[in-house]
Amino acid sequence: MPDFGYWSWPLDVVGEYTQVRTEIRALEEGLRFEDKKPLVVWRGSTKTNILREYLVNGTIGKSWSDIQAIEWLNMTTMLPGHDELSISMPDHCAYQFVVHTEGN
DSSP result, 46-66? STT-HHHHHHHHHTTT-TTEE
Query: What pLDDT is recorded for position 75?
Result: 73
In a domain, 67, yes or no: yes
Write out the residue range of the structural domain in which residue 49 sits.
Answer: 33-104
In a domain, 14, yes or no: no
What is the chain's alpha carbon radius of gyration, rounded to the nearest angstrom? 14
- Tens digit of each residue's pLDDT, the chain (104 residues): 555 555 555 556 667 778 888 988 998 888 899 999 999 999 888 887 899 999 999 999 999 999 999 888 887 787 888 778 888 888 888 999 999 887 64
- Counted domains in the chain: 1
In a domain, 15, yes or no: no
Question: Which helix (H) or strand (E) is 37 found in, with range?
Answer: strand 37-44
